[in-house]
Structure 1
Amino acid sequence: MSPANDLDLPRLLATGSTGPAPTELVVPALLLRAPTATWSELVHIYVPHGPTVAFSGRDLRSPGIAKATEVARAAGFATVVRSPGGRMVAYDAGAVVIDHLDRTTGIRHAGSATFAANAESHVRVLRGLGDVDARVGEVDGEYCPGEYSINVAGTAKVVGSAQRVTATGSLFSTVVQVAVSDEVRAVLTAVSQALGYGLRESSIAGLADYAPGLSSAEVAAAFAADYRDRLGLADGQVPAAVAAHAAGLVPEGAGPFHVDDWTRAHPVPST
């Protein structure tokens, strides 16, 4: 990667799901590892295709991972090990996912400063959606706990983020819970229990619990407008070659589909 050249490339905003859960989570991993790209920064915002439990590498070290996978699949959720870190999160079409890929930054720009800056920007968007007392900070007993989670009124988590940095750039991924279904709530609880994670069920909430009638599409549009204006992004799309490459994957095996294993075994086409 040549940082000087990458700075001259377009900064793009793409919207819309790229397919089922494994494809949705493989696409940013492929883009992150691509040796070349026609963009310097790409933000992809979408409403998920369907029910998903996104595990992390840390979750795989739990002796309960097999049980957790079984529980999630029995509830009709796709099980995927995502590229970014953190811990398990469950979501469905009642959520919004934001993948922010940046080829102009390196490991020196990762860490708490990135989380803090993104959290502050996201809080501003949420506060503009209605009567949402959005705050930065971890609440007691939340799933995928983190210092820069976003909660409402200090009681329930509604947004979580995770990051991955490679030699070719960084991926900052965010899940915004808008309307938490009974199924998502039950799976978060059961999978957390299987993995041995403590969870306070009342810490699970969506934005619509505080701003009734708010939809995932409205929230996705609000975030798209913020990223477009704040970062000067031009409307674009996920590179067609990458989307087509990811669409051809076929998850196999008893365990959850492992995004990084698949991307290493299936080199990304030129983007």
Structure 2
Amino acid sequence: MQDAGTGRRELTVVRQERSLGAAEDLDLALELLARAKTGRIGPTLRLYRPAPTVAFGQRDTRLPGFEAAAQACRDRGFEPLVRKAGGRAAAYHQGTLVVDHIEPHADAIAGSKTRFGFFGELLAEALRSAGVEAAVGEIPGEYCPGEYSVHGTDRANPAHQVKLVGTAQRVVSGGWLFSSVIVVEDSAPIRGVLTDSYAALGLEWDPATAGAANDLVPGLDVRTVEDALLSTYAGYASLRFADFSGYAGLDIGKA
């Protein structure tokens, strides 16, 4: 969709001020994808701060320690869920920003790999504009490792790098969902729940790679990062803001 006045792509931005619940938030993303693939909504960007959640990958469920890992999450106040996209377990809470970008697309599979690179660079650019020394690329020992993870570097100690953004994609006939989790505040609970759950799963990783943007830039908060992200998006699309109440009544969980 293009803005009739400028010819630029138009993107509807929905700021969800409160979590609907861990499972409900994930289900809404799938419902939006279902609507996009049938043309009921156009390109949409949904932003929200989630309830404490550990989203396991499909491979994690096949490991003998999965049930123990799920219980370890509950013991730390995180709800364990299994997502339909992505790799290994990732943790998030209200100190993180979830970014769901949903678009209808006639040939969604064709650009799937390109999207990882594009969004990785976009997210790194947004973090840099907020003062973080950010770059795209997997760092040794990171949780839920990925080629297009976004990491940050401690300027005072360049050897210390932390994973700040994990991304996942779901592609269906007629549309795609690209979901990113930016860890901005309060990294300790995330590090703790990942340490316990990865130990139960028998997966090796380096807990020092789990951090938050404000570990590197003290005082940085989610709203500042959210504003920086939208400013970055505005460089390539015309943003149209919509009230979340128009989306809250969607039928959840039928994608």
TM-score, normalised by the number of residues in structure 2: 0.86
| Residue 179 in structure 1 maps to residue 180 in structure 2 | no
In the aligned structure 2, how far is the partner of 1:214 from the partner of 1:159?
15
Instruction: Please name the residue that 2:26 is paired with.
Output: 25
C-alpha contact 1:179 1:208 (8 A) present in aligned 2: yes
Question: Is the CA contact (8 Å cut-off) linking 1:152 and 1:158 kept in structure 2?
Answer: yes
Contact 1:149 1:160 in 2 (8 A): yes
* Kept after mapping to 1: 8 A contact 2:31/2:251: no
* 1:212 corresponding residue in structure 2: 218
Match of 2:5 in 1: none
Q: Distance in 2 between matches of 1:83 and 1:229?
A: 31
By how many angstroms is 1:244 displaced? 4.6
Aligned to 2:242: 236
CA distance in 2: counterparts of 1:226 and 1:10, whole angstroms: 14
* Distance (Å, rounded) in 2 between the aligned partners of 1:135 and 1:210: 13
Q: Which residue of 2 aligns with 1:225?
A: 231
CA change 1:108–1:244 in 2 (3 A) is: closer
Match of 1:119 in 2: 120
Q: Secondary structure at the match of 2:47?
A: strand
Consecutive aligned runs of 4 or more in structure 1 exceeding 4 Å deviation: 241-244
Unaligned runs of 5+ in 1: 4-8, 247-262
Change (3 A) 1:243 1:200: farther
Pairing of 1:6-21 with structure 2 (within 5 A): 11-16=11-16, 17-21=18-22
Alignment partner of 2:45 out of 43, 46, 54: 43
For 2:189 and 2:95, the matched residues in 1 are separated by 11
Equivalent residue letter for 2:140: D
Shift of 1:239: 7.3
Cα root mean square deviation, aligned: 2.1
Offset of residue 240 of structure 1: 3.6
Aligned to 2:97: 96
> Take 1:137 and 1:226, find their aligned partners in 2: how far apart are those partners?
20
Q: Which runs of 5+ in 2 are unaligned?
A: 2-8, 154-158
Normalised by the length of structure 1, the TM-score is: 0.81
Give per-residue Cα distances to partners, 1:101-136, cap 9 Å, x unaligned.
11125111112x111111111111111112x21111
What is the CA deviation profile of residues 3-33 of structure 1, one whole-angstrom value per residue up to 9, with x for unaligned ones? 9xxxxx9631111245111111110111112
Measured after TM superposition, the shift of residue 233 of structure 1 is 2.5
| Cα distance in structure 1, aligned partners of 2:88 and 2:68 | 16
Contact 1:158 1:207 in 2 (8 A): yes
| Partner-residue secondary structure (3-state), 1:39 | coil
Aligned to 1:143: 143
Q: CA deviation at 1:187?
A: 0.1
State the distance in 2 between where 1:237 and 1:86 align: 32
Which deviates the most, 159-168 or 219-228?
219-228
1:190 corresponding residue in structure 2: 196
Kindly indicate whether the alpha-carbon contact (under 8 Å) linking 1:58 and 1:86 is maintained by their aligned counterparts in 2.
yes
Percent of aligned pairs sharing the same letter? 34
Q: 1:7-62 CA distances to partner (integer Å, 9 max, x unpaired)?
A: xx9631111245111111110111112363432211101122x2111112222122
Q: 1:206: Cα distance to partner?
A: 0.6
Question: How many residues end up aligned between the 2 structures?
Answer: 239
Structure with greater strand share of residues: 2
CA shift, 1:180, in A, is 3.1
What amino acid maps onto 1:81 in structure 2? Answer: V
**What is the CA deviation profile of residues 152-177 of structure 1, one whole-angstrom value per residue up to 9, with x for unaligned ones?**
12721111101110113111100001
Distance in 2 separating the partners of 1:150 and 1:56: 19
